[in-house]
Amino acid sequence: MCDRYIRRPSSLLWERSSLRKKMLDVMRLTVVAAFCWFVIPTTRVLADNTATCVARMSSYVIELDELFSFSTWIEAFDKLNSRYFPFMDCDTDPLLVETTKSRFFRGITYYPRSRRYVVGFASKVIEVGFTYRADQRRSENHNVAQAGQ
Amino acid sequence: MRGVGAAAVLLVSVVQLPIARADDTAACVAKMSEYVAELDRLLATEIPWYGSHKIGPYNKLNRKHFPFADCDGDPLLIEASKSRFFRRIGYNPRAKYYVVSFSNEDVRISFVYDVNERRAKSNGAGWTDK
Protein backbone atom coordinates (compact mmCIF):
# COMPACT_ATOMS: atom_id res chain seq x y z
CA MET A 1 0.00 0.00 0.00
CA CYS A 2 2.57 2.51 1.20
CA ASP A 3 4.97 1.19 -1.29
CA ARG A 4 3.59 3.62 -3.84
CA TYR A 5 4.73 6.60 -1.71
CA ILE A 6 8.18 5.39 -0.89
CA ARG A 7 10.70 6.67 -3.35
CA ARG A 8 13.03 4.13 -4.71
CA PRO A 9 16.75 4.87 -4.61
CA SER A 10 16.88 4.65 -8.42
CA SER A 11 14.22 7.36 -8.69
CA LEU A 12 16.16 9.62 -6.29
CA LEU A 13 19.29 9.08 -8.32
CA TRP A 14 17.42 9.97 -11.49
CA GLU A 15 16.07 13.17 -9.93
CA ARG A 16 19.52 14.16 -8.72
CA SER A 17 21.08 13.59 -12.11
CA SER A 18 18.26 15.56 -13.72
CA LEU A 19 18.90 18.43 -11.30
CA ARG A 20 22.60 18.28 -12.07
CA LYS A 21 21.85 18.36 -15.78
CA LYS A 22 19.64 21.40 -15.28
CA MET A 23 22.39 23.16 -13.30
CA LEU A 24 24.88 22.42 -16.05
CA ASP A 25 22.45 23.81 -18.60
CA VAL A 26 22.06 27.01 -16.58
CA MET A 27 25.83 27.31 -16.25
CA ARG A 28 26.32 26.74 -19.97
CA LEU A 29 23.73 29.40 -20.70
CA THR A 30 25.52 31.80 -18.33
CA VAL A 31 28.82 31.20 -20.10
CA VAL A 32 27.23 31.77 -23.50
CA ALA A 33 25.62 34.97 -22.21
CA ALA A 34 28.95 36.13 -20.75
CA PHE A 35 30.66 35.35 -24.05
CA CYS A 36 28.06 37.35 -25.97
CA TRP A 37 28.32 40.24 -23.53
CA PHE A 38 32.08 40.54 -23.52
CA VAL A 39 33.32 39.19 -26.83
CA ILE A 40 30.70 40.14 -29.39
CA PRO A 41 30.63 43.90 -28.64
CA THR A 42 34.44 43.93 -28.80
CA THR A 43 34.52 42.33 -32.23
CA ARG A 44 31.79 44.69 -33.38
CA VAL A 45 33.85 47.69 -32.25
CA LEU A 46 36.92 46.29 -33.99
CA ALA A 47 35.06 45.54 -37.22
CA ASP A 48 36.05 48.45 -39.40
CA ASN A 49 37.24 49.85 -42.65
CA THR A 50 40.72 50.88 -41.52
CA ALA A 51 42.77 49.11 -44.20
CA THR A 52 40.71 50.72 -46.96
CA CYS A 53 40.84 54.09 -45.20
CA VAL A 54 44.62 53.99 -44.93
CA ALA A 55 44.99 53.04 -48.60
CA ARG A 56 42.63 55.86 -49.62
CA MET A 57 44.38 58.39 -47.39
CA SER A 58 47.74 57.34 -48.82
CA SER A 59 46.41 57.89 -52.33
CA TYR A 60 44.86 61.23 -51.27
CA VAL A 61 48.15 62.44 -49.78
CA ILE A 62 50.06 61.57 -52.97
CA GLU A 63 47.57 63.48 -55.14
CA LEU A 64 47.46 66.37 -52.68
CA ASP A 65 51.25 66.68 -52.70
CA GLU A 66 51.26 66.69 -56.50
CA LEU A 67 48.57 69.35 -56.56
CA PHE A 68 50.38 71.50 -54.00
CA SER A 69 53.51 71.43 -56.12
CA PHE A 70 51.93 72.81 -59.29
CA SER A 71 48.53 74.35 -58.51
CA THR A 72 47.30 77.36 -56.59
CA TRP A 73 43.77 76.98 -57.85
CA ILE A 74 41.38 76.43 -54.92
CA GLU A 75 38.76 74.66 -57.05
CA ALA A 76 41.27 71.96 -57.96
CA PHE A 77 41.77 71.20 -54.25
CA ASP A 78 38.02 71.26 -53.63
CA LYS A 79 37.55 68.80 -56.45
CA LEU A 80 40.22 66.52 -55.03
CA ASN A 81 38.62 66.69 -51.57
CA SER A 82 35.17 65.89 -52.86
CA ARG A 83 36.58 62.81 -54.58
CA TYR A 84 38.09 61.41 -51.37
CA PHE A 85 35.97 62.63 -48.46
CA PRO A 86 34.36 61.55 -46.18
CA PHE A 87 36.45 58.86 -44.51
CA MET A 88 34.32 56.55 -42.39
CA ASP A 89 34.80 53.68 -39.92
CA CYS A 90 38.55 54.14 -39.65
CA ASP A 91 40.78 53.70 -36.62
CA THR A 92 42.09 57.17 -35.84
CA ASP A 93 45.83 56.61 -35.46
CA PRO A 94 46.56 54.68 -38.69
CA LEU A 95 44.59 57.29 -40.62
CA LEU A 96 46.42 60.20 -38.97
CA VAL A 97 49.83 58.57 -39.40
CA GLU A 98 49.16 58.44 -43.12
CA THR A 99 48.49 62.19 -43.21
CA THR A 100 51.86 62.93 -41.61
CA LYS A 101 53.57 61.47 -44.71
CA SER A 102 52.60 64.49 -46.79
CA ARG A 103 55.40 66.96 -47.62
CA PHE A 104 52.88 69.69 -46.84
CA PHE A 105 51.64 68.28 -43.52
CA ARG A 106 51.52 71.06 -40.92
CA GLY A 107 50.18 69.43 -37.78
CA ILE A 108 47.29 67.86 -35.92
CA THR A 109 45.33 69.74 -33.29
CA TYR A 110 43.18 67.79 -30.85
CA TYR A 111 39.94 68.94 -29.17
CA PRO A 112 39.34 66.59 -26.22
CA ARG A 113 35.77 67.71 -25.44
CA SER A 114 34.47 66.76 -28.87
CA ARG A 115 37.23 64.22 -29.55
CA ARG A 116 38.02 65.92 -32.88
CA TYR A 117 41.39 65.84 -34.63
CA VAL A 118 42.00 68.70 -37.05
CA VAL A 119 44.66 67.92 -39.65
CA GLY A 120 46.31 70.74 -41.59
CA PHE A 121 48.34 70.80 -44.80
CA ALA A 122 49.70 73.98 -46.33
CA SER A 123 51.90 75.48 -48.98
CA LYS A 124 52.83 79.14 -49.02
CA VAL A 125 49.62 79.85 -50.94
CA ILE A 126 46.99 77.25 -50.06
CA GLU A 127 45.83 75.69 -46.80
CA VAL A 128 43.90 72.42 -46.75
CA GLY A 129 42.41 70.78 -43.69
CA PHE A 130 39.92 68.27 -42.44
CA THR A 131 38.47 67.12 -39.14
CA TYR A 132 38.28 63.52 -37.99
CA ARG A 133 35.77 62.72 -35.22
CA ALA A 134 37.12 59.87 -33.11
CA ASP A 135 33.76 59.38 -31.37
CA GLN A 136 31.81 59.02 -34.62
CA ARG A 137 34.70 57.45 -36.54
CA ARG A 138 34.17 59.73 -39.52
CA SER A 139 35.70 62.80 -41.12
CA GLU A 140 33.89 66.09 -41.48
CA ASN A 141 34.48 69.71 -42.55
CA HIS A 142 37.20 69.31 -45.15
CA ASN A 143 38.17 72.76 -46.35
CA VAL A 144 40.48 74.70 -48.64
CA ALA A 145 41.53 78.33 -48.24
CA GLN A 146 44.12 80.86 -49.30
CA ALA A 147 47.02 80.83 -46.84
CA GLY A 148 46.76 83.45 -44.12
CA GLN A 149 42.98 83.83 -44.36
CA MET B 1 35.18 19.57 -14.63
CA ARG B 2 33.28 21.30 -17.41
CA GLY B 3 31.53 23.42 -14.80
CA VAL B 4 34.85 24.56 -13.36
CA GLY B 5 36.09 25.52 -16.83
CA ALA B 6 32.93 27.47 -17.51
CA ALA B 7 33.19 29.26 -14.17
CA ALA B 8 36.82 30.14 -14.93
CA VAL B 9 35.87 31.65 -18.30
CA LEU B 10 33.14 33.65 -16.64
CA LEU B 11 35.50 34.83 -13.90
CA VAL B 12 38.15 35.91 -16.40
CA SER B 13 35.57 37.80 -18.46
CA VAL B 14 34.11 39.58 -15.48
CA VAL B 15 37.33 40.34 -13.61
CA GLN B 16 39.41 41.48 -16.62
CA LEU B 17 37.34 44.55 -17.35
CA PRO B 18 37.63 46.29 -13.97
CA ILE B 19 41.39 45.55 -13.91
CA ALA B 20 41.86 47.19 -17.32
CA ARG B 21 39.95 50.22 -16.11
CA ALA B 22 41.64 50.56 -12.73
CA ASP B 23 43.39 53.89 -12.79
CA ASP B 24 44.15 57.11 -11.02
CA THR B 25 42.22 59.44 -13.34
CA ALA B 26 40.17 61.18 -10.66
CA ALA B 27 43.31 62.09 -8.71
CA CYS B 28 45.05 63.15 -11.94
CA VAL B 29 42.20 65.49 -12.86
CA ALA B 30 42.23 67.02 -9.37
CA LYS B 31 46.00 67.51 -9.59
CA MET B 32 45.71 69.02 -13.07
CA SER B 33 43.07 71.42 -11.82
CA GLU B 34 45.46 72.53 -9.06
CA TYR B 35 48.32 72.87 -11.57
CA VAL B 36 46.18 74.96 -13.94
CA ALA B 37 45.13 77.30 -11.11
CA GLU B 38 48.78 77.85 -10.05
CA LEU B 39 49.94 78.23 -13.64
CA ASP B 40 47.23 80.79 -14.39
CA ARG B 41 48.26 82.81 -11.33
CA LEU B 42 51.89 82.67 -12.38
CA LEU B 43 51.26 83.53 -16.02
CA ALA B 44 48.98 86.41 -15.01
CA THR B 45 51.24 87.98 -12.42
CA GLU B 46 54.79 87.13 -13.39
CA ILE B 47 55.71 89.34 -16.32
CA PRO B 48 59.25 88.14 -16.71
CA TRP B 49 62.13 90.09 -18.12
CA TYR B 50 64.19 88.14 -20.55
CA GLY B 51 66.75 86.36 -18.44
CA SER B 52 67.37 82.68 -17.84
CA HIS B 53 66.75 83.01 -14.10
CA LYS B 54 63.29 84.51 -14.78
CA ILE B 55 62.03 81.31 -16.34
CA GLY B 56 62.85 79.53 -13.06
CA PRO B 57 59.41 79.78 -11.38
CA TYR B 58 57.76 78.11 -14.38
CA ASN B 59 60.14 75.19 -14.39
CA LYS B 60 59.81 74.98 -10.63
CA LEU B 61 56.02 74.77 -10.97
CA ASN B 62 56.30 71.97 -13.52
CA ARG B 63 58.77 70.10 -11.35
CA LYS B 64 56.37 70.41 -8.43
CA HIS B 65 53.38 68.93 -10.26
CA PHE B 66 54.69 66.51 -12.88
CA PRO B 67 54.67 63.64 -13.68
CA PHE B 68 51.06 62.44 -13.59
CA ALA B 69 50.76 58.66 -13.82
CA ASP B 70 47.93 56.22 -14.70
CA CYS B 71 45.57 58.83 -16.10
CA ASP B 72 43.06 58.62 -18.93
CA GLY B 73 43.98 61.15 -21.59
CA ASP B 74 40.74 62.98 -22.33
CA PRO B 75 39.71 64.02 -18.78
CA LEU B 76 43.25 65.27 -18.16
CA LEU B 77 43.39 67.21 -21.43
CA ILE B 78 39.94 68.71 -20.87
CA GLU B 79 41.07 69.96 -17.45
CA ALA B 80 44.22 71.47 -18.96
CA SER B 81 42.16 73.25 -21.62
CA LYS B 82 40.34 75.20 -18.88
CA SER B 83 43.37 77.41 -18.36
CA ARG B 84 43.03 81.07 -19.37
CA PHE B 85 46.38 80.69 -21.07
CA PHE B 86 45.67 77.41 -22.84
CA ARG B 87 46.82 77.58 -26.46
CA ARG B 88 46.67 74.22 -28.20
CA ILE B 89 46.84 70.44 -27.96
CA GLY B 90 49.00 69.00 -30.70
CA TYR B 91 48.95 65.29 -31.46
CA ASN B 92 51.67 63.04 -32.82
CA PRO B 93 49.99 59.81 -34.01
CA ARG B 94 53.28 57.95 -34.60
CA ALA B 95 54.57 58.46 -31.08
CA LYS B 96 51.04 58.59 -29.67
CA TYR B 97 51.54 61.64 -27.54
CA TYR B 98 49.73 64.92 -27.04
CA VAL B 99 51.59 68.18 -26.44
CA VAL B 100 49.59 70.69 -24.41
CA SER B 101 50.82 74.27 -24.52
CA PHE B 102 50.05 77.40 -22.55
CA SER B 103 51.35 80.89 -23.16
CA ASN B 104 50.98 84.49 -22.02
CA GLU B 105 52.72 85.76 -25.17
CA ASP B 106 56.03 86.13 -23.30
CA VAL B 107 56.46 82.66 -21.86
CA ARG B 108 55.35 79.35 -23.28
CA ILE B 109 55.07 76.28 -21.10
CA SER B 110 53.98 72.81 -22.07
CA PHE B 111 53.57 69.21 -21.03
CA VAL B 112 53.36 65.93 -22.90
CA TYR B 113 50.78 63.19 -22.38
CA ASP B 114 52.02 59.79 -23.51
CA VAL B 115 49.10 57.56 -24.52
CA ASN B 116 51.02 54.28 -24.26
CA GLU B 117 52.43 55.01 -20.83
CA ARG B 118 49.24 56.79 -19.65
CA ARG B 119 51.53 59.40 -18.17
CA ALA B 120 51.96 63.17 -18.43
CA LYS B 121 55.37 64.77 -18.05
CA SER B 122 56.71 68.29 -18.17
CA ASN B 123 57.99 69.59 -21.49
CA GLY B 124 59.65 72.62 -19.91
CA ALA B 125 59.17 76.36 -20.26
CA GLY B 126 60.75 78.90 -22.55
CA TRP B 127 60.41 82.30 -24.16
CA THR B 128 58.08 82.82 -27.08
CA ASP B 129 59.53 83.82 -30.46
CA LYS B 130 57.76 87.18 -30.63
List pLDDT tens digits, range B84-126: 999 999 999 999 999 999 998 888 999 999 999 999 999 988 8
Spatial distance between the Cα atoms of A139 and B93, rounded to a whole number of angstroms: 16
Q: Name the maximum alpha-carbon separation found in chain A.
A: 107
Q: How confident is the model at residue B4 (pLDDT cuts 50, 70, 90)?
A: low
Q: Are the Cβ atoms of A38 and B81 closer than 8 angstroms?
A: no
Spatial distance between the Cα atoms of A105 and A96, rounded to a whole number of angstroms: 11
Residue type, B49: W
List pLDDT tens digits, range B28-67: 999 999 999 999 999 988 665 555 556 888 889 999 999 9
B11 and A CB contact within 8 Å: no
Q: What is the reported pLDDT for A148? A: 74
pTM of the model: 0.75
Lowest average pLDDT, out of A3-7, A66-70, A73-77, goes to: A3-7
Q: Are B24 and B76 in contact (CB under 8 A)?
A: no
Closest Cα of chain A to B27: distance in Å? 19
Task: Name the closest residue on chain A to residue B72, using Cα atoms.
Answer: A112
Helices (H), chain B: 2-21, 25-45, 56-65, 73-80
A45 and B CB contact within 8 Å: no
Q: What is the reported pLDDT for A44? A: 47
B3 and A CB contact within 8 Å: yes
pLDDT over 70 percentage in chain A = 77
Q: Are the Cβ atoms of A109 and B92 closer than 8 angstroms?
A: no
Q: What is the reported pLDDT for A115? A: 97
List pLDDT tens digits, range A96-147: 999 999 999 999 999 999 999 999 999 999 999 999 999 999 999 888 998 8
3-state secondary structure (DSSP) of residue A86: coil
Q: How confident is the model at residue A2 (pLDDT cuts 50, 70, 90)?
A: very low
- Residue A141 phi/psi, 5-degree rounding, is 55, 50
List pLDDT tens digits, range A36-52: 555 554 444 554 789 99
Spatial distance between the Cα atoms of A29 and B22, rounded to a whole number of angstroms: 29
Show Cβ contacts of residue A39 under 8 Å, excluding neighbours closer than 6 positions: B13
